[in-house]
Amino acid sequence: VAMPGAVRVAMPGAVRVAMRALWLAALLGALGAGGTELTLELPDSDRRCFHQELESGIKFTLDYQVISGGHYDVDCYVEDPNGKTIYQETKKQYDSFPHRTEVKGVYTFCFSNEFSTFSHKIVYFDFQVGDEPPILPDMNNRVTALTQMESACVTIHEMLNSVIDSQTHYRLREAQDRSRAEELNGRVSYWSVGETIILFVVSIGQVMLLKSFFTEKRPGSGRTST
């Protein structure tokens, strides 16, 4: 009788330990991949820069997209450790920049909203460093063909990566569409209030004008008798 009870008590703890182990493995895998995703607020007439130290011959990819603000555009440029501009785009809504480093040092990439004097921007960017490690050991150095199970694992891995990219893309599109809808709703509300005020002013003016047409003008009593 004691054994089933012990099993029922021990199973949730084992599940929690397994889930923690899986979560830790996923976290370590994400850290090992060298990826950084960030959504930042970029005030008007402002610039934000980020710095990353990289080795020579390392591949990195910078993806960014403006979620809200103004005309959904931003300036972006990337500089190598020698101060040379290796990427520069002005008033861009979204873009992707892959590059393989030629020199070792600190690379700088900046987002600038200095051309705008009124609108704040919200910018999302994804900075990936390094090539994706193979999902199977010695996959790149194998001479024999992959087994059916290994091919299925590779296909599932590629499809999952595609799903992740699609989810990120649709989340950004949803945030952008929501921002546009809220902005449009605000404009419609202000326009409706303005039309209401104009309607009241015109109505009151018409009433006063019609009232002046039917008001009897009495002759003045300033005449004196002699």
* Contact call for residues 137 and 154 (beta carbons, < 8 A): no
Among candidates 45, 61, 37, which has minimal Cα distance to 123?
A: 37
Band of the pLDDT at 204, cuts 50, 70, 90? Answer: very high
Q: Mean pLDDT in the chain?
A: 77
Among candidates 65, 58, 135, which has minimal Cα distance to 98?
A: 58
pLDDT at 26 over 70: no
Model confidence pLDDT, tens digit, residues 28-53: 343 344 678 888 899 988 999 999 99
- The pLDDT of residue 197 is 94
pLDDT at 19 over 50: no
Mean pLDDT of 170-193: 85
- The pLDDT of residue 113 is 92
State the pTM of this model. Answer: 0.60
**Three state DSSP letters for the chain:** CHHHHHHHHHHHHHHHHHHHHHHHHHHHHHHHHCEEEEEEEECCCCEEEEEEEECCCCEEEEEEEEEECCCCCEEEEEECCCCCEEEEEEEECEEEEEEECCCCEEEEEEEECCCCCCCCEEEEEEEEECCCCCCCCCCCCCCCCCCHHHHHHHHHHHHHHHHHHHHHHHHHHHHHHHHHHHHHHHHHHHHHHHHHHHHHHHHHHHHHHHHHHCCCCCCCCCCCCC
Mean pLDDT of 93-110: 92
Model confidence pLDDT, tens digit, residues 107-142: 999 999 999 888 888 899 999 888 776 666 666 566
Most confident of 22-31, 133-142, 180-189: 180-189
- The pLDDT of residue 167 is 84
Model confidence pLDDT, tens digit, residues 145-172: 667 777 787 788 778 878 887 887 788 7
- Domain ranges for the chain, please list them: 37-131, 135-211
Going across the sheet that includes 121-129, the strands are 35-42, 121-129, 59-68, 94-100
pLDDT at 180 over 70: yes
What CATH fold (topology level) applies to the domain 37-131? Answer: Jelly Rolls (2.60.120)
Band of the pLDDT at 224, cuts 50, 70, 90? Answer: low
